[in-house]
Structure 1
Amino acid sequence: MKKWSRIAFTLLAAASLTIGLTACSSGKDELEKVRVAEVTRSIFYAPQYVAIEKGFFKEEGLDIELTTTWGGDKTMTSLLSGGADIALVGSETSIYVHAQGSDDPVINFAQLTQTDGTFLVSREKVENFDWEQLKGSTFLGQRKGGMPQMVGEFVLKQHGIDPHNDLNLIQNIDFANIANAFASGTGDYVQLFEPTASIFEKEGKGHIIASFGTESGHVPYTTFMAKDSYMKEESETIEKFTRALYKAQKWVDESSPGEIAEVLEPYFEDTESDIIETVVDRYKSQGSFATDPILDTEEWNNLQDIMDEAGELPERIDHGTLVNTSVAEKVSK
């Protein structure tokens, strides 16, 4: 009896050990899901897709559930309501939320793009372009209050053009229909994102003659942000996420446009590979992709200057109030 008791005990102990080891092994291999809401699907966000496709997030133990929310307001609603853990959207949205008196402010913790991503496209080919040539023209702009429009107006004013008096400025067309409106004959000039600008140029529908990103300088155009409560409760996750992003930023900085385009192709199945490569090359050459996740004070102040010039800045916010660079600085060392 005692012999069988000992055998039974030994088997039970072995079984318990096996179960324990299996559980530990399973726990080790299990990835933590992080829900990310991106404001739109864009080649402009290349390092994010690289971080997913190259396995940099998985190396950090993270499983990214990426959702495209199509619009800054929808993206912030998703974040604030708990539908997303992290949002990729323009930094200006965190200022708008703060101005409404949120009890749980949205904190910018990692920068993805550091310039505007739009281009000035003309209907006719222009030799020796000068911004003065825009005066008196019909200009298809972007949505009022959004970063593209604010940067557009900022650049125009820098070149001595009053967008509301020197131009026939059209702003009442939905973002999704701006390109179609221009293609159908509306406007002499249009402010377009890629890859539409390059596609239009390839098809002879327009000509890229200037870059708003080059003209406006460095600005935290698109950043990863999270609610302050999530930043504190999931600090380890935020660090892993930022470290994976930094790996991708370095990879993009060191790789050729062709190599990057190949990685991006699954995310842009309706865009020809040569167009993807052209767009990546254009963004790389003008320094649009941030090479590290740190959103510095100068960029933050430039953002607010642009918003203020457009009459859209609710109040001036100190860099340290809505920006946390501690994690980005740590992983970038």
Structure 2
Amino acid sequence: MILRRTMLGAALAGAMALSLSPASAADLEQSSITLGVGGKPLLYYLPLTIAEQKGFFEEEGLDVAINDFGGGSKSLQALVGGSVDVVTGAYEHTIRMQAKNQDIRAVIELGRFPGIVLAVKKDLADQIKSPADLAGRKVGVTAPGSSTNFFVNYLMAKDGADPQQAAFIGVGAGLSAVAAMQQGEIEAISNLDPVISKLEADDDIVVLADSRTEAGTEAIFGASIPAAVVYMKNDFIEANPNTVQALVNSFKKALDWLATASPEEIAEVVPAEYHLGNEELYLRAVAASQETYSRTGIIPPEAMQASFDMLKQFDPELASAEFDLDRTFTDRFVTAAGN
């Protein structure tokens, strides 16, 4: 686990206190929160990095400690275990937890398309022509049980194959994932940008499924599917509504900024190490992913249903689960953001 404090941190603590009115700071039930994420450098989580680097958390009176885990499933485990307060992760996790009678809810949508790509090693493209051909193959995902894993599970099940017949290997979300493919440790990969754009630029892969655009997402799922969200236990929401509102305000500012920012402006804001050693490549990856970010922060009901329908394709427990899907997301904070 790597612990990162929000930029500016203690150096601006005094200035932050002066910039906030005493009333606004006092309104927060807790000003220090811990956030879990699985693969922060991924463009999937770009709104988090923007909120951090642009100082939007500080503007709302928050001191956010970010724990960057190897994948989304590990962030969820940290939330359930109590070591983080909130998570920036895949919406699908809220569905799975509600089905297990654990009241975990999303409070803002960050991504309206998954942005996940399934690709195979180029010299195996004549053998692995569809997701069904992944049976018996080594497939790299950010972490087993994460959204990148769900993506392959769904595609294999859709093609009539059993996802359990594939060997899923956690390769992370940065250069470790690139190296795993280039060194032959895996035969296929389900990952996101900038990892995918790096492998494409190096001519290492052939893409089988691409959800970085609305057209690509609808071709795969038949509808838009919510991706990254901010989620937490409902007990935390009820006990800390002002803190949650400040957090949602911060992320909404990030989404609004991203809606008009150029790839060059984005590249200037994120840490240089996120470029994977090639800023030009990163700019192309950003341009390819900009369509994925939410415009409103609100998950449409039909998108929630589409995500549930997708999960049921390969998870027999969800196929028979009974719960209120509306409990997976509340729009009360996004609606109030900026007001």
Question: How does the TM-score come out when normalised to structure 2?
Answer: 0.75
Q: Provide the rounded CA distance (Å) in 2 between the counterparts of 1:135 and 1:27.
A: 52
Question: For each residue in 1:229-285, what CA deviation from the matched residue of structure 2 results, as whole angstroms up to 9, or x when unmatched?
Answer: 21112111111111121111011011111211221134626442222212111111x
Q: Provide the rounded CA distance (Å) in 2 between the counterparts of 1:86 and 1:198.
A: 29
From the superposition, tell whether residues 71 and 153 of structure 1 become closer, same or farther in structure 2 (CA, over 3 Å): closer
Question: For each residue in 1:85-116, what CA deviation from the matched residue of structure 2 results, as whole angstroms up to 9, or x when unmatched?
Answer: 211122222333334334xx212111112222
From the superposition, tell whether residues 95 and 58 of structure 1 become closer, same or farther in structure 2 (CA, over 3 Å): same
Q: What residue in structure 1 maps to residue 239 of structure 2? A: 233
Q: What residue in structure 2 maps to residue 12 of structure 1? A: none
Instruction: Let me know the Cα RMSD of the aligned residues.
Output: 3.4
Q: Provide the rounded CA distance (Å) in 2 between the counterparts of 1:267 and 1:58.
A: 23
Q: What residue in structure 1 maps to residue 200 of structure 2? A: 201
Q: What residue in structure 2 maps to residue 5 of structure 1? A: none
Q: Provide the rounded CA distance (Å) in 1 between the counterparts of 2:19 and 2:160.
A: 62
Q: What residue in structure 2 maps to residue 110 of structure 1? A: 108
Q: What residue in structure 1 maps to residue 70 of structure 2? A: 70
How many corresponding residue pairs? 300
Contact 2:91–2:227 (CA under 8 A) maintained in structure 1: yes
From the superposition, tell whether residues 304 and 44 of structure 1 become closer, same or farther in structure 2 (CA, over 3 Å): same
Whether 1:293 and 2:297 are equivalent positions in the alignment is yes
Q: Provide the rounded CA distance (Å) in 2 between the counterparts of 1:100 and 1:209.
A: 32
Q: Provide the rounded CA distance (Å) in 2 between the counterparts of 1:179 and 1:38.
A: 20
- Three-state SS of the structure 2 residue aligned to 1:113 is coil
Identical-residue share of aligned pairs (%): 17
Question: For each residue in 1:179-231, what CA deviation from the matched residue of structure 2 results, as whole angstroms up to 9, or x when unmatched?
Answer: 54532346765433222222122223224464134233422222111211211
Whether 1:85 and 2:85 are equivalent positions in the alignment is yes
Q: Provide the rounded CA distance (Å) in 2 between the counterparts of 1:196 and 1:317.
A: 36
* Displacement of 1:38: 1.0
The equivalences for 1:26-37 within 5 A come to: 28=21, 32-37=31-36
* Displacement of 1:149: 3.2
Q: Provide the rounded CA distance (Å) in 2 between the counterparts of 1:59 and 1:135.
A: 45
Bigger Cα displacement from structure 2, 230-239 vs 313-322: 313-322
Q: What residue in structure 2 maps to residue 307 of structure 1? A: 311
Whether 1:258 and 2:264 are equivalent positions in the alignment is yes
* Displacement of 1:309: 0.5
From the superposition, tell whether residues 329 and 140 of structure 1 become closer, same or farther in structure 2 (CA, over 3 Å): farther
Q: Provide the rounded CA distance (Å) in 2 between the counterparts of 1:117 and 1:313.
A: 26
Q: What residue in structure 1 maps to residue 3 of structure 2? A: none
Q: What residue in structure 2 maps to residue 16 of structure 1? A: none
Q: What residue in structure 1 maps to residue 282 of structure 2? A: 276
Contact 1:37–1:75 (CA under 8 A) maintained in structure 2: yes
- Three-state SS of the structure 1 residue aligned to 2:113 is coil
The equivalences for 1:123-272 within 5 A come to: 123-124=121-122, 133-134=129-130, 137-138=133-134, 140-141=138-139, 142=141, 145-155=145-155, 161-164=159-162, 170-176=166-172, 179-185=178-184, 189-208=188-207, 210-213=209-212, 214=216, 215-216=220-221, 217-266=223-272, 268=274, 270-272=276-278
Q: Provide the rounded CA distance (Å) in 1 between the counterparts of 2:196 and 2:251.
A: 27
Contact 1:94–1:108 (CA under 8 A) maintained in structure 2: yes
Q: What residue in structure 2 maps to residue 96 of structure 1? A: 96
Structure 2 regions of 5+ residues with no counterpart? 1-16
Q: Provide the rounded CA distance (Å) in 1 between the counterparts of 2:249 and 2:335.
A: 10
Contact 1:307–1:313 (CA under 8 A) maintained in structure 2: no
Which of residues 320, 324, 328 is equivalent to 1:322? 328
Contact 2:45–2:88 (CA under 8 A) maintained in structure 1: no
Q: Provide the rounded CA distance (Å) in 2 between the counterparts of 1:280 and 1:237.
A: 30
From the superposition, tell whether residues 26 and 294 of structure 1 become closer, same or farther in structure 2 (CA, over 3 Å): closer
Q: Provide the rounded CA distance (Å) in 2 between the counterparts of 1:163 and 1:178.
A: 25
Q: Provide the rounded CA distance (Å) in 2 between the counterparts of 1:224 and 1:150.
A: 18
Structure 1 regions of 5+ residues with no counterpart? 1-23
Bigger Cα displacement from structure 2, 302-311 vs 260-269: 260-269
- Three-state SS of the structure 1 residue aligned to 2:93 is helix
From the superposition, tell whether residues 40 and 123 of structure 1 become closer, same or farther in structure 2 (CA, over 3 Å): closer
Contact 1:43–1:276 (CA under 8 A) maintained in structure 2: no
- Three-state SS of the structure 2 residue aligned to 1:225 is strand
